[in-house]
Amino acid sequence: MSDTYTVLHDPHGLAAAELPLDRAPYEALVTAVLAWKDPNLTPRDYEQIVLQLTGHARTVAADVQRHAATLPKNDGRGALAEVVLREATGRLSAPIQGTARCAQNRARLVRALYERLDCLTEPPPAAT
E-strand ranges in 1-128 read none
Q: How far apart are CA 50 and CA 37, in angstroms?
A: 17
Whole-Å CA distances, 41 to 25, 49, 76, 98, 101: 20, 11, 42, 9, 12
Q: How far apart are CA 58 and CA 109, in angstroms?
A: 10
pLDDT tens sequence across 33-81? 999 998 899 999 999 999 999 999 999 999 999 999 998 888 889 889 9
In this prediction, residue 76 carries a pLDDT of 87
With contact defined as beta carbons under 8 Å apart, do 97 and 45 qualify?
no
Backbone φ/ψ region at 40: left (φ over 0), alpha (ψ -120 to 50), beta:
left
In the predicted structure, residue 108 carries a pLDDT above the cut 60 = yes
Q: What is the pTM (predicted TM-score) of this model?
A: 0.80
